[in-house]
Chains A and B, each alone.
Chain A
Amino acid sequence: MSNVQPIDLYARQISDEKQASVIDGSSAGTEKRYAVLGKDYKDPDALRKLAGSIKDHTLHHLDHYLEKAEAALVKNGAHVHFADTDDDARNTILEILRSHGVTRLTKSKSMAAEEIHLNPFLIKNGIECLESDLGEFIIQLDNDEPSHIVKPIIHLNRRDIAKTFLREGVSETYNDDPRTITTQARVHLRKKYFEAEAGITGANFVSAESGRLVLVTNEGNARFGMAPTPVHIALVGIEKIVPTDRDFGVFLNLLGRSATGQQLTVYTQFINGPKSANQPDGPEHMHVVFMNNGRTDVLESNCREILRCIRCGACQNVCPVYRQASGHAYRSNYAGPVGAVLSPLLFGDRFPELADLPKASSLCGACNEVCPVDIPIPDLLLRLRDKAKREKVHSPGAIPMTPFGTLATSPSLWRTAMTMSKAMNHLPIEVAPVKPLQDWLGQRTLPDWHGGDFRKWLKGRKEKS
């Protein structure tokens, strides 16, 4: 068995070019976020805490609010479906598409859809399903996976994209100018929007009061997916609910600023029913699929705060581990700190396989500081480490801690060890024939031993009068 955790292995193998893309993209995101929040608010922290408490309240009363949202949507002429598992969600969507005779559709970015691998499923079932967000479109052409919630192709540079467009016939000649790349995608996708018979979207928030779905995009692709098309399907995680429309004011002011440094995302849509009678174009049929897929398990766990997440990507941008390892190292569509908590919980049967993620953190706390809903991510990481320990999940590269335990619980042994260990600085421990020690040292550089200095300082310290 490998003595290296999968995330470490990935971080070690990432190319310099890819790492540079990730570091540049994520650090720019963090800077923009700080600048706009600091400029616009005297106390952005108070706003984050308020948003967190609204979400907490909603989650603690989710049965009530979900039912309310359902009733409001039905009253407005939308069809509401529920999907307990990923299988249920995929099949429900396929049935809806078949009932309307849909064979071609466009899809805007949805983390929920990524989570259940909706695209490959629909394509396998004979439905042409095209991603319309520029980044996700490139991911689809490459048969790749998104590596960031907001910037799915943060790991690619313009040359990668230009090569893909040429290979897939989106462009006729190689051109890596970002404006040209964008225009090529515009022309290619424009045709597809008009041919599509349905648009699939996610939702950023849902108001229990009115049933309004809030959908944000910068490109306008979600709006285009429901302008010439007769059917709109929204796949929504059940944790997306907020109590009232008024609450949108809190979350929208935080989402854009946290994600991209914008006060508002360019296109912000509020939808709670099919198109109005006087509109010549637009969906006559609106379907909302509320998906569980493990969320009730997370709500039951001691990490339920992670369900507050509004998918802004700020914790990914700021995380030193994410920057080094890149999103793909997290092996799910939720990368970075949020993914390190969410993925092992959400994909319950994959817990042992993903249990390295909560350990890949120095617990520096930056993720909590930038979180627009104040999720205590470092605390949750610790709870998951504890869960892994209690469930005896194999931990690659971990050294046996029993000798240390004996040492640390006996003051006299500890004192002796502190002084004696200085000798280690002169011993060639890097060649000591102890296998676990060798494995451990294979990935780390041991600093010089300074043990005992604190005790010495404390002893010689004069009491202040």
Chain B
Amino acid sequence: MSRDSIFSKLRSTTSALKKRAPYPDYDISVVHSAPRLEGGDLWDIFARNFKAVSGRTMTSVEELAAFLTADVSKHGYCDPALFESIGSKLVAAGLTVETEFDRSRYDDYQFGITRGTGAIAESGTLIIDDFRTSHRLAALSPWIHVACIQHSEVVRTIPDAIASFGDCPNIIWVTGPSKTADVEGILIEGVHGPGEQIALLI
């Protein structure tokens, strides 16, 4: 049995150590980056850091509708819970919106509007958890992903975000568009996931 064999080797090795290192007593604030946290309002700090990683922030549905129209991204998915407040306004602006993501037509969706669970100001990061996000694929497959976030959901630091994990089995942090520098170190955005990450304040 592999399990028994691994644990018996581990026990005999660790118990034979002359000195075993203690767990260091540390204040988690040592990992905070002061320059990145400069500023007062958490949304403003988030917006600055999110822009630095090529993310876009928007504060109104009108702004989003104008961006999607100009980008000729006419068709997308919207979380049913957000249809009334966002989806319907996009429809009124001439876009078409589905509230079911049909995976057999994954290429049809140019944008996906989902509920973000929060954001991290320090790093410009969107937080998406499995409990409140309507659809994993809708946040990943379309070229444009729009995460809708409330002001009160923005946390200050990375450790703050970790402290608020709760019991969700799947949490994902998204810090900008999907990217690669595999080819000669040249930065290209939109590899497998979205080429545009938008944080919409609701």
Q: Which A residues are closer than 8 A to B by beta carbons? A: 21, 24-25, 28, 39-42, 46-47, 50, 53-54, 56-57, 60-63, 66-67, 76-77, 81-85, 88, 92, 132-135, 138, 151-153, 157-158, 161, 178-179, 181-183, 185-186, 189-190, 193-194, 210, 212, 218-221, 223-224, 227-228, 238, 243, 245-246, 248-250, 252-253, 260, 262-276, 278-282, 290, 292, 296, 299-300
Contact = CB atoms under 8 A, between A and B. Distances in A.
B159 interface: yes
Interface in B54-99: none
Contacts of A53: 21, 24
Given A60-B17, A220-B191, 15 more contacts: A50-B24, A57-B20, A57-B23, A61-B14, A66-B10, A82-B3, A92-B2, A138-B182, A153-B183, A158-B184, A193-B192, A219-B178, A219-B179, A238-B6, A290-B6
B172 A269 contact: yes
B5 interface: yes
A53 B168 CA distance: 29
A281 B136 contact: yes
Contacts of A290: 6
Most chain A CB within 10 A, of B22, B34, B135, B191, is at B191
Interface residues of B, number: 72
A270 B117 CA distance: 14
B14 A219 contact: no
A37 B100 CA distance: 44
Contacts, number: 246
A238 B145 CA distance: 36
A223 B136 CA distance: 9
B202 interface: no
A82 B6 contact: yes
Nearest to A220: B193
Contact of B11 (A63, A186, A271): A63
Interface in B156-170: 158-159, 162-163, 165, 168-170
Contacts of B3: 82
B104 to A, nearest CB: 8
B193 A219 contact: yes
Pairs of residues from A and B, 8 with the lowest C-beta to C-beta distance, nearest first: A220-B193, A273-B169, A219-B191, A296-B9, A63-B10, A40-B33, A135-B182, A220-B178
20 contacts: A57-B23, A61-B14, A153-B183, A178-B188, A179-B188, A190-B141, A220-B194, A223-B136, A223-B140, A224-B192, A227-B141, A246-B159, A260-B181, A266-B178, A267-B178, A267-B193, A269-B171, A276-B131, A276-B168, A279-B170
B110 interface: no
B169 A271 contact: yes
B158 to A, nearest CB: 5
Contact of A221 (B158, B169, B191, B194): B191
B192 A158 contact: no
Contacts of B177: 266
B10 A190 contact: no
Contacts of A228: 103, 137
A378 B9 CA distance: 27
Contacts of A25: 184-185
A148 to B, nearest CB: 10
A57 B162 contact: no
Contacts of B6: 66, 82, 84, 238, 290, 292, 296
A268 B2 contact: no
A86 to B, nearest CB: 12
B35 A274 contact: no
Interface in B121-177: 122-123, 125, 130-131, 133, 135-137, 140-141, 158-159, 162-163, 165, 168-177
